Amino acid sequence: MEIYYLINGKKYLDTHLLREKLDISKWELQVIMDTYQFPESEIVMIQNRKLYSVRVLEEFVKKLLKANEG
């Protein structure tokens, strides 16, 4: 089962769901968030919670994989 927020037809994940999907700790996710600047247009704030667009997260993971090839 896939869990996400659906806002205006776009899928979003909060940090908890993101950590579950990537199987990483809070600290590891914080390092990623501090290092990589996600476009503000791809982040939604709801009730003091940041939601990250699944599309931009997929692009980020692809960049990481490509950078660490070979």
Q: Which residue type is seen at 10? A: K
What is the full DSSP assignment across 4-70? -EEETTEEEEEHHHHHHHHT--HHHHHHHHHHS---GGGEEEETTEEEEEHHHHHHHHHHHHHHT--
pTM: 0.80
Q: What pLDDT was estimated at residue 63?
A: 87
Query: For residue 44, what pLDDT is reported?
Result: 95
How many whole angstroms separate alpha carbon 18 and alpha carbon 60?
12
25-41 confidence digits (pLDDT tens) = 999 999 988 888 889 99
Half-sphere exposure of 9 (CA within 13 A, CB side): 0
- Per-residue model confidence (pLDDT) at position 21: 87
| 48 in Cβ contact with 35 (< 8 Å) | no
